[in-house]
Amino acid sequence: MPVIDLRSDTVTQPTAGMRAAMQAAELGDDVYGEDPTVNQLERYLAAELGFAAALFVPSGTMSNLLGLMAHCERGDEYIVGQQAHTYKYEGGGAAVLGSIQPQPIEGEADGSLDLDKVEAAIKQDDFHFARTRLLALENTMQGKVLSLDYLASARALCERRGLALHLDGARLYNAAVKLGVPARTITEHFDSVSVCLSKGLGAPIGSVLCGGEALIGKARRLRKMVGGGMRQAGMLAAAGLYALQHQVERLADDHAHAEQLAAGLRELGWVVEPVQTNMVYVQAGEQADALKAFCAQQGIQLSAAPRLRMVTHLDISAEDVRRVIEAFAAFQN
Ligand SMILES: *Cc1c(COP(=O)(O)O)cnc(C)c1O
């Protein structure tokens, strides 16, 4: 039986239609700007999200890094959540490679950053201080969707205080599908957005940074500098384009499967956090390691953490979810 892998939505295999699109892609050298499929992907996503330009890069980490470095100079600062991917899970790249100081603040339970706390963290114009330039938000944040009202308020704050606003939209489309709005309704509040094609969208590789002409021009130079200039990258861009054109609406299935998993586990007595998109967080506590080992014997791959995250994706079916719930029940007995 195939393994049911709930560790992340990065583990998906390209679908048959995606492989066919990759096979058929027209290619050129993208460092010369001559890969028609990369150019098509960049134009497509920029237009869809309401930006003038876009840049295809190998990873979300690079996309965020280039975004931060394009907004901020050495000695500038960005405000970010303590648990945000850009701050916590990207090796400190903005500081290491961009000499950008992060100003982390504690996030709220709903995945947002309290805008009063953000405002209080903005430093005065004084040569003792780093120059606060940017606010970075994440949506979805650990599976939670930021409300459109919140985004409008964040935008208003940034306008008022002269900050740029960046979105780590690794799972932007999960948020859009959950809200039932075009992704642009979310991205219109931002100066730049990073979108992962390799998460729930199901492409094997790739992220896209969207923004204005000047910002993306700067990011293009930085991409070369950090070694992200790829050549016949159209094979990968084709996968991303296919995902954007065929595998967005189906994210609703992942959300339904996450609900199904949460409901089944709650019925067994597990404490499960409310589910909004494709992430289920279960209090596994001290049982985390034993649970992981037990499930592995049943062909189910889990992470081992006291606050256990399980992620649904296009290779997880309703039947798989039933098997996982059964495994948890068997573990208890
Ligand atoms: C996965 C992810 C990224 C980028 O990750 P890569 O593995 O570098 O593509 C950025 N932000 C969030 C929130 C993510 O989940």
Q: What is the pLDDT of residues 188-212, one digit of tens each?
A: 999 999 999 999 999 999 999 999 9
Q: Considering the domain boundaries, does residue 6 fall inside one?
A: no
Based on the domain organization, do 255 and 239 belong to the same domain? Answer: no
Residue type, 301: Q
Tally the domains of the chain: 2
Residue 272: strand pairing partners: 282
Burial of 328 (0-12, 13-18, 19+ CB in 10 A): buried
pLDDT higher than 80, residue 164: yes
Q: Is residue 8 included in any domain, yes or no?
A: no
pLDDT for residue 6 is more than 90: yes
Ligand 1 centre and the CA of 85: distance in Å? 7
Residues 134 and 147 in one domain: yes
Q: For position 2, what pLDDT does the model report?
A: 85
Q: Are residues 235 and 280 in the same domain?
A: no
Domain boundary (215, 246, 277) is at: 246
Do 98 and 188 fall into the same domain?
Answer: yes
Q: How confident is the model at residue 147 (pLDDT cuts 50, 70, 90)?
A: very high
In Å, what is the CA distance from 27 to each residue of 40, 94, 123, 191, 275?
11, 32, 47, 30, 41
Under 8 Å CB-to-CB from 225, ≥6 apart: which residues? Answer: none
CATH code, domain carrying 133 = 3.40.640.10
Where among 218, 246, 274 does a domain terminate? 246
**Is 20 within the bounds of a domain?**
yes
Query: Are both 135 and 167 inside the same structural domain?
Result: yes
Among 173, 196, 198, 313, residue to substitute to test ligand 1 (most atoms within 8 Å of Cβ): 196
CB 8 within 8 A of CB 327: no
Which numbered atom of ligand 1 lies nearest the CA of 196?
A: 9
**Distance, CA of 184 to chain centre:** 16
In a domain, 4, yes or no: no
- Same-domain pairing of 233 and 101: yes
From 82, 144, 168, the mutation candidate for ligand 1 (largest count of ligand atoms within 8 A of CB) is 168
By CB atoms closer than 10 A (0-12, 13-18, 19+), residue 97 is middle
pLDDT of residue 333: 84
> Residue 80: CB within 6 Å of ligand 1?
no
Task: Specify if 263 maps to a domain.
Answer: yes
Nearest CA to ligand 1 atom 15: 170
Q: Are residues 30 and 70 in the same domain?
A: yes
Residue 7 pLDDT grade (very low, low, confident, very high; cuts 50, 70, 90): very high
| One domain, residues 129 and 221 | yes
Q: Is the CB of 202 under 6 A from ligand 1?
A: no
Domain with residue 315: its CATH number is: 3.90.1150.10
Residue 60 CA to ligand 1 center (angstroms) comes to 5
For residue 314, the one-letter residue type is L
Using the CB atoms, write b or e for 249-269: b if 16+ within 10 Å.
Answer: eebebbbebbbbbbebbeeee
What are 265's strand-pairing partners? none
Q: CA dist 103 to 95, 97, 121, 149, Å? A: 11, 16, 8, 24
The pair of structure tokens assigned to 175 is 């948020």
- Residue 58's domain comprises 14-246
Q: Tell me, using a 6 A CB cutoff, whether residue 59 lines ligand 1.
A: yes
Residue 1 is predicted with a pLDDT of 75
Instruction: Please say which residue of 209, 229, 246 terminates a domain.
Output: 246
Residues 148, 60, single domain; the answer is yes
Q: 20 C-alpha vs ligand 1 centroid, how far in Å?
A: 26
111 in the same domain as 61: yes
144 lines ligand 1 (CB under 6 A): no
**What is the per-residue pLDDT across 74-105, written as a single tens digit (0 to 9) for each?**
999 999 999 999 999 999 999 999 999 999 99
